[in-house]
Structure 1
Amino acid sequence: MTTHIFDTIGYRDLANGINDACEWLSDHGLDYPRTRVGEYRRHLNEMADYWEHGRIEELIKLRDFPTLMNSCHEASELSYIYKGLSSFSDLSVSKKLQEFIKGPPSSKNENASSSNRGRNIAFELHMAARFAAAGFTIDLTSEADVIVEILEHEVFIECKRPQQNHQVNSNIKGAINQLERRFPSARCPERARGIIAVAISKVFNPDMFLLNATTPETLSQKLSFITKAFIDHFEPKWKNPTDIRTIGVLVHLGVPAEITSQNLLTNCHEFAIKTTFTNNQGLDVLTEIRDRIHPTA
C-alpha cells in the first residue's frame, strides 16, 4: 500500500508557515533563533522578499542554491509538525521540541552518533503529526516514540532513521525488540499492536541532492521505485516476527525535488505500508492508516 504526496506552496506562504511554527517554539520556551531553525526562518523570509521584488537570483548568489533548497525542505517539515501538533501543550512535546531544534542546518553534516538526534526526533514528531492530522488519538507521553489509538487497538510505533544502508538491519531488529518490551505496558496487552516506522531519506540521499523528474507522474514513479527497492531488499528482516502483535512497517521517504517541465521546486513524501506477516495479520489496522492519512502536506 503506497501513498504519494505532491504539494506546492508559494515562498510567502512557506515563510508565513515557519513564522507561525517559530512562534509556537517560543511559546514552548525555546530560544530557536540561534539554532538551525532560526536560519531556516531567516532564509525563507528572505526568499519571499526577494521573490516578490523579482530579485531571487541575487539571493541565490548570496546564499547559494543548495543552502536555500535545504532551508525550504527543512522548514516545510517544521510547518507540518506545527500544524499537526500545535494543540498539544504537555511537557512531553516541549521536551521533544528541545531536541528537535538541535543539530547542523543540513542533514549531510550530521554526526551519526550525536548530532543526528534533532532530526531523529523530527521524524517522531512528523509521524505523530501525520496521525494527529488524520484524526487519530495520539500519545507522546510514554517511553514509546508514538502511541496511536486505531480500531480499539493501542498501537505502539517505534521510529527509526538509519544514517547508512548498513544500519538498517540493526535498526529494524532494535525496533522489533522495543515493541516487544512495550506490549506488556498496554492497557490491554493482548490487543496491543506494533508498527516499525523507518525513514529512508538519509540512506537514499545522504548528500541532500535534488531529485529531478520531467513531470509529477515521473516523479511519483521515481519515488515508488526507491521505496519498492528498499522494501524488496530489507523485507526479509522484518517478515514474520516472533510476536504476532508487531503487524507492519511504514517506510517514509522525503526528498526535495524539481519538476523540470514546470521549473518547479517541491518537497516530496512517500509512505509505503507493508504487513509483516504473509497471512496479512493486522491488515485491518494498516488499511485504516492508509485510508485516513491523506496525501496532503
Structure 2
Amino acid sequence: MQGVAPLQLISVTEKLKKAVNGPINAANETPKTTAARNYLFEATVAAMAHRPARRVEAILNARSDTGIKIEGRKIWVECKRVTTEHALERNLRKACSQLQDTFNAEIGSGHRGIIAMDVSKILNPKGELLVAKDDTELKRGLVRLLQDFSDKHSNLWQRIYAEKSRKIIGTVFRLSCLATSEVRKMSVQCSQWAVIPRADATAADVQLQERLVEALSQDL
C-alpha cells in the first residue's frame, strides 16, 4: 500500500496489531485463539486487493470488514475464516446478514457485496507441507483442491444466495499453505483464490468478481 497516507491505514494497522497475538502455527489454533488470524485475513484481503494501477482500490474506512472499489464501483466485503465444514452455513449466513446491514447504511444502488472466505483449515487441517514436482503441478493441485471444494458445496451456496439480496453477488475463497517443489527445493507460502458467483448474477457482476480474484492473485 505504498502511497497511502498513514492516517488511512489505521484500520489495517489495528488489525495487524491484533494478528500478532495468536499461535505461531495455525495447526495449534483453538476456537478461543482464532481471532488473531481472522484479523490477519481481513488485513490481507484489503492489502492484496489494493492495485490502483489496475483501478482496483481498497476502501479502508469501510463499514464492512473491508471494501473494494473496482472501476469506481463499491464492493463491500465480509471476511470469514472457516475451520470446519460444519461451520460453513453458519458463517455464510452471518456474512450475508452483515452485508445487508451495510447495504441498509450505505446509499448507492450500484453497491455490491461479496464474502471472502479462507478455507485453508478445512482443506489442510494439519497444516501439512504440499509437495509437487514443479510450480505448474503445484498450482494445478491447489486449483483442483479449491474446485473440488466448490463443486461439493455449490448447492449450499446457491440455496442461501437465493434467500438473500441480489446485491450479494458471490463468494471468493482462499487456500493458503506452505508448499515446495522439487525444482525450487525450498518452501514457499502459496495462496490460491477461486470464486462461486450466485447463479443469477449478471455478466457485469461476474466480471467484478473475476477482477477481484485477479487482483488478489497478483504477486506483490
Q: Helix, strand or coil: the match of 1:137? A: strand
Unaligned runs of 5+ in 1: 1-83
Of residues 166, 172, 191, the one that matches 1:244 is: 166
- Which protein has greater RCO, CA pairs closer than 8 Å, 6+ apart? 1
Q: Helix, strand or coil: the match of 2:50? A: helix
Aligned position for 2:21: 102
Cα distance change, pair 172–98 in 1 and its aligned pair in 2 (3 A):
same
Are the aligned partners of 1:145 and 1:157 in contact in 2 as well (CA < 8 Å)? yes
The sequence identity of aligned pairs, in percent, is: 24
Task: Tell me the CA shift for residue 229 of structure 1.
Answer: 1.2
Cα distance change, pair 173–110 in 1 and its aligned pair in 2 (3 A):
same
Aligned position for 1:126: 44
Task: Tell me the CA shift for residue 184 of structure 1.
Answer: 1.7
For 1:125-163, what per-residue CA distance to the aligned partner results, in whole angstroms no more than 9, with x for missing partners?
Answer: 110011114552322334310011123322100001012
Q: Helix, strand or coil: the match of 1:251? A: strand
Matched residue count: 212
RMSD value, Cα: 2.1
Task: Tell me the CA shift for residue 170 of structure 1.
Answer: 1.1
In the TM superposition, what are the counterparts of 1:61-210 in structure 2 within 5 Å? 84=1, 87-90=4-7, 91-112=10-31, 114-133=32-51, 135=53, 136-188=56-108, 190-210=109-129
Greater fraction of residues in strand: 2
Are the aligned partners of 1:172 and 1:237 in contact in 2 as well (CA < 8 Å)? no
Task: Tell me the CA shift for residue 108 of structure 1.
Answer: 1.2
Greater fraction of residues in helix: 1
Kindly indicate whether residue 140 of structure 2 is the aligned counterpart of residue 221 of structure 1.
Answer: yes
Cα distance change, pair 293–163 in 1 and its aligned pair in 2 (3 A):
closer
For 1:178-205, what per-residue CA distance to the aligned partner results, in whole angstroms no more than 9, with x for missing partners?
Answer: 11111122231x1110001010111112
Task: Tell me the CA shift for residue 261 of structure 1.
Answer: 4.2
CA distance in 1, matches of 2:170, 2:77: 10
CA distance in 2, matches of 1:252, 1:134: 22
Cα distance change, pair 259–173 in 1 and its aligned pair in 2 (3 A):
same
Aligned position for 2:186: 264
Could you say which structure has the larger radius of gyration? 1
Task: Tell me the CA shift for residue 259 of structure 1.
Answer: 0.4
Unaligned runs of 5+ in 2: none
Match of 1:206, as an amino acid?
P
